[in-house]
A and B are shown apart, each in its own frame.
Chain A
């Protein structure tokens, strides 16, 4: 997924080969991750796609099924991966992920600790930020989930950057061999305040901690625990609004008639039932307009950040 291996780097000259992970794009909300295997086929509502037809084609190409339906084949990125990964838990999405990576001040070479691993949605972006020389240590107390995450990192080619541990961080804290090595710690736990003292031990001075909690009561308690060893404690909520874009023919007959501000608006009222007439009026020029999508995610979680105090 990441261009650490230069042969996997996107290029005009790089084509899909056997064993590659591709994102099959039907439309913006229908995608699927597929491992290309010469003998394999993909079946969806557009028909049957033979993988062997894909090999040798460039990434980003359109491929057809036996019925003539088509999909696009994309190179995976952490953003696409977040949309296709199997949800073993509630996951973090791009707005929170991006903000966390930025506020944790992650750069190549950083060591970052995460708990819990969950579905590995954030881990993938953490790995992208600290590659090629840093490392992500991620912990989950759920053995199966940890194993599934490990498999995923193998599939996405991140296993050299991410180590998945099975551990109850709330109960036991982070492992002692990581004391003082972490540039940043991320907590997504039901009772983050239990893990905060341990997180403090793992961090370098001035290192940043982030705790993600859906409920304000969790934030309240975490913030109280943070005051003893941390400073610069700040809580945010970040959301995204998406827009629909449409080209519409706007009626401009008013200006064409050269009677600005006259009877026209009034006329519109009278002819409200004649809406179709207005739409058929082709005299207007098309205008591209945007409006916020009707529905949006209204809450994900609160992000609480804090810096470990520098004690001289």
Chain B
């Protein structure tokens, strides 16, 4: 199994991990999220122990793992869910429905637990599993029996997280990648929440075969999410001012095969704007077919500024040094090569099918003014910003200049709920802002530079 190389883009929808694939490890029900690449040498650190990730290779995404003390040290072993386990859980749930106990007898004097840290260490040395330690803690808790069933459950969960951590193997998709960054490093993605990202993709009508122009200054999250929806067709073109393209580090978290990576290209804005007149002369020769035989043959291919051997930089090495990721040099098409000449020509003749801008540090209006001419007539565009004001100004200018219609600024609001028998309510904490979105449709005007 593990020898299968991700060659076809059916990989994008593969449901079993392979050697070298990118995964998202969800430790203890979302408490910690870690991106990793599964290789024979890669590890994840939980608590103070390192666990090799080798056993995760060849497992279906969605598999659950628990920590164990193997012969060769700590290891992750897959939890096989059984029908009985489900039943006990259900029983536990049912018992909760009617509850008369409360916390009137509870005194917080730190004597409830009779097991000491040394006792627990001793249990461990004898080879007790995490779950056995949790049971021992419950048995030795003087107050457990008097707790309400709700807080019994909470207690059990808390101890389980500490002594019997669980690792869930997740697929790195736009959804989980955005969620993870938003939770861990929101500033790196310009505070773009997942519901806002989903709005951007809708407003920009991203679909197979589209040519999407993006100004992605939030680490490549937009680029990756668009490429995911294109599925190896069309193009996502990153345009940038100046000489150096913006970072696409997040694109590497997706499991894109060569076919998708080839559809992620870059083009300096100066070059997009260049030789408009020359193009308009050639407008007669309509060339709808886009050839993409071998984009790696492009002269610029070798000087891409984003070498694939660069370590996956998401990891916490830089932040807290608690997770280590071993990245491996990977022979694959690199995302973010220079756009092929014939494709650029076709864009200049036909225009892009949509535009997405997420550029926290560039004035929205100045960038829109510059890139909107390359958008086909009637094409939708969308601009993200973490602040409202730049979008308000931009919207006003677009209206005044009569460049677009259907202009609208929206701000999504997302609330999660705890749904449990007799205990359903919104989460106590929520994200208060996921950013703002300006959307609209470009209209035809005679002053198009392209015409």
Closest A residue to B197 by CB, please name it.
Answer: A102
Q: Is the Cβ of A60 less than 8 Å from the Cβ of B444? A: yes
Q: Is the Cβ of A236 less than 8 Å from the Cβ of B351? A: no
Task: List chain A residues, Cβ under 8 A from B380.
Answer: 77, 79
Say if the beta carbon of A288 comes within 8 Å of chain B: yes
Q: Is the Cβ of A95 less than 8 Å from the Cβ of B195? A: yes
Task: List chain A residues, Cβ under 8 A from B388.
Answer: 243, 290
The minimal Cβ–Cβ distance linking A153 to chain B, given in whole angstroms, is 15
Task: List chain A residues, Cβ under 8 A from B442.
Answer: 60
The minimal Cβ–Cβ distance linking A203 to chain B, given in whole angstroms, is 11
Closest A residue to B451 by CB, please name it.
Answer: A12
With A102-B197, A206-B62 as known contacts, state yes or no: A312 contacts B78, CB within 8 Å: yes
Render B400-413 as a binary contact track against A, CB cut-off 8 A, 1 for contact: 00000111111111
Q: Is the Cβ of A131 less than 8 Å from the Cβ of B208? A: yes
Task: List chain A residues, Cβ under 8 A from B231.
Answer: 107-109, 133
CA distance A58 to B377 in the complex (A): 7
Q: Is the Cβ of B396 less than 8 Å from the Cβ of A236? A: no
The minimal Cβ–Cβ distance linking B210 to chain A, given in whole angstroms, is 6
Render B22-56 as a binary contact track against A, CB cut-off 8 A, 1 for contact: 00000000000000000000000000000000000
**A contact residues, total (Cβ < 8 Å):** 83
CA distance A9 to B379 in the complex (A): 10
CA distance A224 to B90 in the complex (A): 9
Q: Is the Cβ of B233 less than 8 Å from the Cβ of A206? A: no
CA distance A231 to B389 in the complex (A): 41
The stretch of A38-46, A191-199, A302-310 in contact with B is A302-310
Say if the beta carbon of A227 comes within 8 Å of chain B: yes
With A77-B380, A107-B231, A241-B410 as known contacts, state yes or no: A13 contacts B350, CB within 8 Å: yes
Q: Is the Cβ of A206 less than 8 Å from the Cβ of B395? A: no
Task: List chain B residues, Cβ under 8 A from A131.
Answer: 207-208
The stretch of B183-191, B314-322, B333-341, B417-425 in contact with A is B417-425
The minimal Cβ–Cβ distance linking B223 to chain A, given in whole angstroms, is 15
Closest B residue to A305 by CB, please name it.
Answer: B175
Q: Is the Cβ of B89 less than 8 Å from the Cβ of A227? A: yes
Closest B residue to A5 by CB, please name it.
Answer: B209
CA distance A228 to B85 in the complex (A): 10
Say if the beta carbon of B229 comes within 8 Å of chain A: yes
Closest A residue to B86 by CB, please name it.
Answer: A228
B373-393 residues at the A interface, CB under 8 angstroms:
376-380, 388-389, 391-393
Q: Is the Cβ of A60 less than 8 Å from the Cβ of B89? A: no
Of A12, A232, A239, the contact of B377 (CB 8 Å cutoff): A12
Task: List chain A residues, Cβ under 8 A from B286.
Answer: 13
Interface centre among A11, A73, A307 (most CB of B within 10 A): A11
Say if the beta carbon of A128 comes within 8 Å of chain B: yes
Q: Is the Cβ of B392 less than 8 Å from the Cβ of A289? A: yes
Q: Is the Cβ of A62 less than 8 Å from the Cβ of B416? A: no
Say if the beta carbon of A223 comes within 8 Å of chain B: yes
Q: Is the Cβ of A245 less than 8 Å from the Cβ of B392? A: yes
Say if the beta carbon of A110 comes within 8 Å of chain B: yes
With A12-B351, A25-B405, A79-B380 as known contacts, state yes or no: A6 contacts B229, CB within 8 Å: no
The stretch of B10-18, B104-112, B146-154, B237-245 in contact with A is B10-18
Task: List chain B residues, Cβ under 8 A from A236.
Answer: 414-417
Of B78, B175, B350, B451, the contact of A103 (CB 8 Å cutoff): B175
Of B90, B93, B198, B377, the contact of A98 (CB 8 Å cutoff): B198
Task: List chain A residues, Cβ under 8 A from B69.
Answer: none
Say if the beta carbon of B288 comes within 8 Å of chain A: yes
Q: Is the Cβ of A78 less than 8 Å from the Cβ of B413? A: no
Q: Is the Cβ of B10 less than 8 Å from the Cβ of A12? A: no
The minimal Cβ–Cβ distance linking A131 to chain B, given in whole angstroms, is 5
With A206-B60, A206-B61, A239-B413 as known contacts, state yes or no: A220 contacts B419, CB within 8 Å: yes
CA distance A131 to B231 in the complex (A): 9
Of B80, B379, B396, B414, the contact of A311 (CB 8 Å cutoff): B80
Q: Is the Cβ of B208 less than 8 Å from the Cβ of A205? A: no
Interface centre among B10, B351, B392, B414 (most CB of A within 10 A): B392
Interface size class of B (residues with CB under 8 A): 35 or more
Task: List chain A residues, Cβ under 8 A from B406.
Answer: 25, 28
Q: Is the Cβ of B378 less than 8 Å from the Cβ of A6? A: no
The minimal Cβ–Cβ distance linking B196 to chain A, given in whole angstroms, is 9
Q: Is the Cβ of B349 less than 8 Å from the Cβ of A61? A: no
Say if the beta carbon of A99 comes within 8 Å of chain B: yes
Say if the beta carbon of B228 comes within 8 Å of chain A: yes
The minimal Cβ–Cβ distance linking A190 to chain B, given in whole angstroms, is 18
CA distance A53 to B395 in the complex (A): 31
The minimal Cβ–Cβ distance linking A184 to chain B, given in whole angstroms, is 11
The minimal Cβ–Cβ distance linking A192 to chain B, given in whole angstroms, is 13
CA distance A87 to B244 in the complex (A): 49
Q: Is the Cβ of B62 less than 8 Å from the Cβ of A310? A: yes
Q: Is the Cβ of B93 less than 8 Å from the Cβ of A227? A: yes
Say if the beta carbon of B81 comes within 8 Å of chain A: yes
Q: Is the Cβ of B80 less than 8 Å from the Cβ of A102? A: no
A198-224 residues at the B interface, CB under 8 angstroms:
204-206, 216, 219-220, 223-224
With A216-B424, A311-B80 as known contacts, state yes or no: A240 contacts B413, CB within 8 Å: yes
CA distance A236 to B418 in the complex (A): 9
Say if the beta carbon of B252 comes within 8 Å of chain A: no
Say if the beta carbon of B248 comes within 8 Å of chain A: no
Say if the beta carbon of B368 comes within 8 Å of chain A: no
Task: List chain A residues, Cβ under 8 A from B90.
Answer: 227-228
CA distance A80 to B349 in the complex (A): 26
Q: Is the Cβ of A290 less than 8 Å from the Cβ of B421? A: no
Q: Is the Cβ of B195 less than 8 Å from the Cβ of A98? A: yes
Of B80, B208, B349, B419, the contact of A12 (CB 8 Å cutoff): B349
Q: Give 26 pairs: A residue, B residue, CB < 8 Å, sorted on A.
A: A2-B208, A3-B209, A4-B209, A10-B376, A11-B349, A12-B350, A25-B405, A28-B405, A94-B199, A98-B199, A102-B174, A107-B229, A109-B10, A128-B205, A128-B207, A206-B60, A206-B61, A206-B171, A227-B93, A228-B90, A238-B195, A242-B411, A288-B389, A288-B392, A309-B81, A311-B81
A-B pairs with lowest CB-CB distance, top 9: A108-B231, A206-B62, A60-B378, A60-B377, A59-B378, A102-B198, A11-B350, A98-B198, A290-B392
| Interface set of B (CB-CB < 8 Å, partner A) | 10, 12-13, 15, 60-64, 78, 80-81, 86, 89-90, 93, 168, 171, 173-175, 194-195, 197-199, 201-203, 205, 207-210, 228-234, 283, 286, 288, 349-351, 353, 376-380, 388-389, 391-393, 395-396, 405-417, 419-421, 424, 426, 436, 441-444, 448, 450-451
What 19 new A-B contacts, CB under 8 Å, besides A102-B201, A289-B392, A312-B80? A12-B377, A12-B450, A14-B376, A59-B377, A60-B378, A128-B207, A132-B233, A205-B62, A220-B421, A220-B424, A227-B93, A237-B414, A237-B417, A241-B413, A242-B410, A243-B410, A243-B436, A245-B395, A247-B396
